[in-house]
Amino acid sequence: MRDINVTVSVGLRRTLQCAAAVTALALAIAGSASANFELGQEAFKRGQYDIAIDTWKKFAEAGDIRSKKALGDVFSDNICSQREAERMAAKGVTPRSLTPPPSKVVPVDNVEALKWYILAAHHDFSVIANPTADEVRAQVVANSCLPYVREVMTTSEVRTAEDRAAKTFERGSPRDLYNLGLMFQRGAGVSKDNTKALMLFELAKTKGVGEASQAFEKLEQITDAGEEKAAREMVLAWQPPLPELYDKNPPHLQELERLRKELNELRNQDALQAVSDIDVELIQRALKALGFYFGAADNKMGPDTRAAIRRFQYSLVARDTEMTEEEKEAVRTGVLTAKQTVELVKLAAKSQHPMSQYVYGIMHARGVGVVQNGAEAVKWLQDAADADLALAHYALGVIYRDGTTGLNEVEPNKVEAAKHFAKAYALGYKPAGDALKLLEFEAPRQSD
């Protein structure tokens, strides 16, 4: 046999490591439930958090309750253990934990945490001959963790987590459908819903779960005909949920969406950059209209103008709950970005500031910082013109003289163009007089 020289690259080493991990995982699946859970626990202790989470997920989906609880602990950063430790410490007792301490390295995801705690709290032990004490304890602790996680979540987040847990049960066995029906009937782990409970009991009954027939009959006695009819219609329309991967965009579609946003952002940079050329005086007037600037509109970027810009910048993020106070403070630079300038002009225009309405209208006419839109351009310019702003009348004259492109195109209209040029000239804007002279205006002929 001829010798083959092999260069072991980093990529190959990683491949071999992955193969070893898969082999270990396969062996562990064939072993005891305790070994399954502890394989993930050992990976977590070594700092291999991705491997630990992936391992626990595989075992949790295979029915290991300790892995379900471990995922709840990790994704909630052990908030349950922390609260329980505080309670026990107040009594002078040191609690014993089966899971690692708070990681501080795995991003908190309370929706996922609540989902796994619900699945652990409602784990079906009827399929296990002799559950261990640790497995039973995992269910008890998971159930006690539910309120701790819910209290730091929004109502919408809780509903999302409950929906994910319900779909996981629906993907399972006929008995899982029956157990989910009980949860909906009792309002345990999910919001109480008798119609869904009836549907799930009916599905489980048709799949051979004897207890489901009795549960359906008992619940049927306390529900009205409308709920029963809706439940039977839901049974006919029911399909097992797709695997969880398909609940979200597949990875390749997520990547395409990210690239699309990135390209759009780059495409807009040139147009947004033009916004930066707006005179300081216009920025000062817009800031004054919004109550952020109190000095004179002197077209100078002095300390007072910088301070006003900082106040405006902070107002944009003051209600952003996803930013820390340090991040919010960092935004107060005193230098407007192109996007912030667009936002400033828009808000000032909406506050009925004529000059800002004029600028915002021009931005729509040219597609600078916003989507080019003729109808929007006319709307904002007309608002400014109604306040007798000569520049706005002149701009409307140009739009009606030349027409626009982009969305909601404005067709040339010489009558309207002449009217606005004349009004702008009457208000003192001399270039409008020259435009009026050059306009080849012909009054529309009257039809016979």
Give the model confidence (pLDDT) of 50-79 as tens digits.
Answer: 888 888 888 888 888 899 999 999 998 888
**3-state SS assignment for residue 407:** strand
Q: Is residue 213 part of a domain?
A: yes
Write down which residue in 304, 336, 368 finishes a domain. Answer: 336
Residues 167 and 205 in one domain: no
Main-chain dihedrals φ then ψ at residue 152, nearest 5 degrees: -105, 10
Decide if 80 is inside a domain.
Answer: yes
| Residue where a domain terminates, one of 140, 171, 202 | 171
C-alpha distances (whole Å) from 20 to each of 6, 26, 27, 33, 323 are 19, 10, 11, 20, 41
Q: Does 152 lie in the same domain as 60?
A: yes
Kindly state the average pLDDT of the residues 34-38.
66
Same domain? For 151 and 39 the reply is yes
* Residue pair 117/144 in contact by the 8 Å Cβ criterion: no
Question: Could you tell me if residue 5 is inside a domain?
Answer: no
The pLDDT tens digits of the residues spanning 348-395 come to: 999 999 988 988 898 888 887 788 888 999 999 999 999 999 889 999
Residue type, position 433, single letter: G
Per-residue pLDDT tens over the stretch 214-225? 989 899 888 888
Percent of the chain surpassing pLDDT 90: 16
Question: How far, in Å, CA of 69 to CA of 45, rounded?
Answer: 17
Q: Does any domain span residue 252?
A: no
In terms of pLDDT, which residue wins out, 396 or 93?
A: 396
Q: Which of 386, 441, 393, 402 is nearest to 421 (CA)?
A: 393
**Which of 18-22, 128-132, 165-169, 402-406 bottoms out in mean pLDDT, i.e. has the lowest?**
18-22
pLDDT confidence of residue 49 = 86
Helix (H) or strand (E) holding 126: none
Helices (H) and strands (E) in the chain, counts: 22, 0
User: How many domains would you assign to the chain?
Assistant: 4
Which has the higher per-residue pLDDT, 97 or 447? 97
Q: For residue 66, tell me if it sits in a domain.
A: yes
Question: Residue 11: is its pLDDT beyond 50?
Answer: no
| pLDDT exceeds cutoff 60 at 251 | no
> CA-CA distances (angstroms) from residue 388 to 159, 365, 426?
53, 20, 10
Residues 158 and 51 grouped into a single domain: yes
Tell me the average pLDDT of the chain: 78
**Closest C-alpha among 325, 352, 164 to residue 244:** 164
- Is residue 98's pLDDT more than 70? no
356 and 327, same structural domain?
no
Within this chain, do residues 89 and 191 fall inside the same structural domain, yes or no? Answer: no
pLDDT for 403: 87
In a domain, 254, yes or no: no
- How far is C-alpha 45 from the chain's CA centre? 32
Q: Which of 124, 145, 171 is the last residue of a domain?
A: 171
Q: Which domain holds residue 125?
A: 12-171
**SS3 label, residue 356:** helix
Phi (first) and psi of residue 407, to 5 degrees: -70, 150
382 exposure class (CB count in 10 Å sphere: 0-12, 13-18, 19+) = middle
Each residue's pLDDT tens digit, 400-438: 988 887 778 888 888 899 999 999 999 988 888 888 888
- Cβ contact 110:118 at 8 Å: no
146 and 74, same structural domain?
yes
Query: If you average pLDDT over residues 248-266, what whole number do you get?
Result: 56
- Written as six digits, the tokens of 191 are 């919001």
Residue 24 pLDDT: 41
Give mean pLDDT, residues 152-178: 89
Q: What's the one-letter identity of residue 364?
A: H
Same domain, 230 and 127: no
Domain identity same for 404 and 330: no
CB atoms within 10 A of CB 358: 27
Query: Is there a single domain that holds both residue 145 and residue 83?
Result: yes
191 and 44 within one domain:
no
Q: Are 203 and 238 in contact (CB under 8 A)?
A: yes
Question: What's the pLDDT at 115?
Answer: 93
**Do 68 and 118 fall into the same domain?**
yes
Residue indicated by tokens 């071999």 = 16
User: Domain for residue 266, yes or no?
Assistant: no
Examine residue 344 and state whether it is found in any structural domain, yes or no: no
Give the CATH number of the domain where residue 419 resides: 1.25.40.10
